[in-house]
Amino acid sequence: MYSYLLFLLILIPFLALSAWASAKVNSTYAEFDRVPNRANMTGYDTAVRLLRGRGVHDIQVGRVEGRLTDHYDPAHDQVNLSQSTYGSASIASVAVAAHEIGHVMQKKNGYLPYKIRNILVPITNIGSRLALPIIILGILLDTFWQTVPYGEWAVYVGIGLYGLSSLFMLVTLPVEFNASRRAKKMLVEDGILTEDELPAASKVLTAAAMTYVASLLISLVYFARFALIFLSLIGRNKRD
């Protein structure tokens, strides 16, 4: 009981950080979405210019529902811009669009962390959904069916799956920060933003990156909790 309360006390500040980061990215985007860029380029215009200017002609630029739902879909060779980005000629919109093109260039240039993240994607998608149910099932089996080691091994498998999810989030950080650095460089190189407009774009991209930092910290807290469960099971088995 004491360890669980300690876990909650550690977790709550990180949950608060996550909520703050989410609110911050929305407020920062809203602030600079009201500031038009001097080149009068929309998010769509920006994405197309950056792609074509770097000789990339096999990536299409589409539009998806929602706000800040922008993403690069490498499986379908498409950059999907949200409604809030696609047709807006704001500093925020071109910053977000350029960030997604940054991911395209990571793939084209063989950026190693991007490769690692892509390898982890299918495993993480499965593991993130199954990890917690498997851990809970394992604890229940280990509690009520101690004569058979199924529960213990289920806990180990669940912790391993959750560890992969944490690893994915860890690898995601350099990928996202690198995409933002590429975005800012491309925006100035192609004359879409001027040097004095760049700080505003930087604020938008930094706020977005903070959501990934918060997610990683929460994931690590949970992983530490599960690792303690793992160590307690190992310790109990040694005593038995």
> Would you name the residues annotated as active-site residues?
100
Q: How far apart are the first and last CA of the chain?
A: 23
Mode of pairing for the β-strands spanning 60-64 and 71-73: unpaired
Tokens of 130: 């199954």
